[in-house]
Structure 1
C-alpha cells in the first residue's frame, strides 16, 4: 500500500496527455519484461499450476481496476474511491456466504471502522450520486472476489505467476480498448484520459510508464503474496492504509495539506489495522469457536 500510494501520485503526469488503454498495455509489457527477467535468473516461475483458476482470478481483479480507472473520468474521485473501498466488506460477506466461515465481532468491527475512516478521508459528495455512482461498488465487489480467489483457487501458485496473470489481463484489456475506441473527439487534458486510444510515447511518458510498471509490480506482488499467506478478510482491512500513504505522499510531493477530518479518518484506519493485528485470528468453519476473534 505504501508503494502504490507513492506511484498513484504520479498518475496525473500520464493522464494529462496519455491514454488509459495505452497506459495499461505499455505498463503491462514493461511489467511482463521485468517478470520474465526475474524468472530467467531462477527467482520464480510464470507457469501456472491451474491455468484456468489463475485466468479467472486475474479477470476479476483486472476488471475491477478497469472499472475503477474508467469511473475516474465521469465521477468525483471521492465517490470512486469510496466505492472501491467497499471491497473489504464484500470480502467478509463472501467468506461467510460462500466459504462457510464465521467472522467474529472484532473482524466486523475492524471492517466497519476502516470503512468509516475511509469515508472521512475521501468525503464523497452525496449530491453527486446517481446510478453511475454504483459502478465503483461493482469494482469493489469484483476486487473482493479476486482477493478471496487468491487463496481459495490459487493456493500453491507463486506470487510471480499471479502477478503475471493480472498484468496480462490488464494488457489485453488495454489492447482491446485501443482497437475499439474511435480515438476522435477526446477532451483535452485529464478529462480525455479514458477516451483517447493513444498518446505520445516520448521519453518523458515512457519514463512515467516505467515508474508505474516497477512501482505497481512491487506493490501488487506484495498484496498478492499477502492474500496467499493470510485469510482474505484479515488482509483486506489493511488495504485501507492506501489512503493514508497516498495522502502522505501527496503532502510530501505536492504540498497538499490534509484537513483535520481526514486526519481523524486516518486514525480510524490505523485503529482498524490495530484491532486486526491484536485481536483477530483467522475465521474458522461453523461448529468451531474462534480463539481470538470473539468478544
Structure 2
C-alpha cells in the first residue's frame, strides 16, 4: 500500500465504527449467558462466522487458505484462549472492567518483546507500563480483605492476546486477513465443540453457569443473539481491518481505545452499569499508556485486530 493510498480520516472513522459495533454486540453477551453455554456460543458463532468468511472469500475479497497452517493454528490458539476468557468474564463482570483488562495487552506485548525478542525500550515506555498497571488496579479495585481472582481474569486474557499479537508478527506476517480471521474462528469452533463433549448438558442456572454448562436447547432467543454477536463481530473486525488498510498502524491503533468509551456507554444505557471516578481514571491511564506504547513502537500491534500485511511487490 503506497503512501498516496493513505486516508487517515476515513481510517479513523472505520476504527471508530468497528469499535462502536463491538461495543454494542459485546454488551449482548449477558443475554446469552442467562441460559446459554459459553462453549455452545463459541461453536455456533464460529460456524456462522466461518460461513460468512467463506462467502467473502468466494466473491474474491480474500483468501481463506493460510500459507502456513501450523503458524496460523499456533497464533489462533493464543487469541482464541484470550477470547474464551474475555467472553466468560462478560457474563459475571461489568463490561468496562473486562474491556479495560483486555486493553492492557499492549503493555504485555512490550514486556514480551523485551524479555524474549530483545527489544529495547526507553524511560517513556517503561513509565507507560507502570501507568497502565496502576490504571488496571484502579479499574479492578481489588480488596485485600476479600480478594476475588475472577476480577483479574481479563488481565490474563490480555496476556494470551499479547502472546498472540507477538507471534502474529513473527509467524504470520505474510498471512492474509481472511485466513487469520478464519483460523481464529475455526479454533474457537473446535474448542467450543470439545467443551460441549466434556461438560454435562444443562448446568447451573444464571450467568454464573455460562462457563459450566454443556449443551442447552437452541431456543430462538439464543440463536438470535448468537447470530447478532457473530454478524456484529464480523462487521466490527471488518471495519477495523479496513482502518488499518487505509491508515498508518501507529496512528489508527490509538482509536481502538474508543471501545472503552463505547462499551461503558452501552453498558450504562442497557444495564445501568455506571463507571465510578476511580475506574474512569484507570481507563484513562490504560488508554494513555497503550497509546504511548503503540505510537513509540516500530511495528504497533492493536488489541482487537492485526495489521493488514502489505502485498509483496
Q: Give TM-score scaled by structure 2 length.
A: 0.75
**Most deviating of 194-203 and 253-262:** 253-262
Counting only pairs closer than 5 Å after superposition, residues 113-124 of structure 1 correspond to structure 2 as 113-124=131-142
Distance (whole Å) between structure 2 residues aligned to residue 183 and residue 81 of structure 1: 30
User: Is 1:200 matched with 2:248?
Assistant: no
1:87 counterpart residue number: 105
1:280 counterpart residue number: 296
Distance 1:120 1:150, change over 3 A: same
User: Is 1:266 matched with 2:291?
Assistant: no
Counting only pairs closer than 5 Å after superposition, residues 182-197 of structure 1 correspond to structure 2 as 182-183=200-201, 186-197=203-214
2:170 counterpart residue number: 152
User: Is 1:49 matched with 2:64?
Assistant: no
Shift of 1:87: 3.0
Q: Give TM-score scaled by structure 1 length.
A: 0.79
> What is the RMSD of the two structures over their aligned residues, measured on CA atoms?
3.4
Q: Is the 8 A contact 2:97 2:139 kept in 1?
A: no
Shift of 1:205: 1.7
Alignment match of 1:140 (pick from 154, 158, 177): 158
Distance 1:124 1:216, change over 3 A: farther
CA offsets 1:202-229 (integer angstroms, 9 cap, x no match): 2222111111112223344566788997
Shift of 1:22: 0.5
Distance (whole Å) between structure 2 residues aligned to residue 30 and residue 45 of structure 1: 18
1:292 counterpart residue number: none
1:30 counterpart residue number: 48
Unaligned ranges ≥5, structure 2: 1-18, 301-313
1:21 counterpart residue number: 39
Unaligned ranges ≥5, structure 1: 285-295
Distance (whole Å) between structure 2 residues aligned to residue 120 and residue 57 of structure 1: 31
**Most deviating of 254-263 and 167-176:** 254-263
Shift of 1:196: 1.4
Distance (whole Å) between structure 1 residues aligned to residue 118 and residue 210 of structure 2: 42
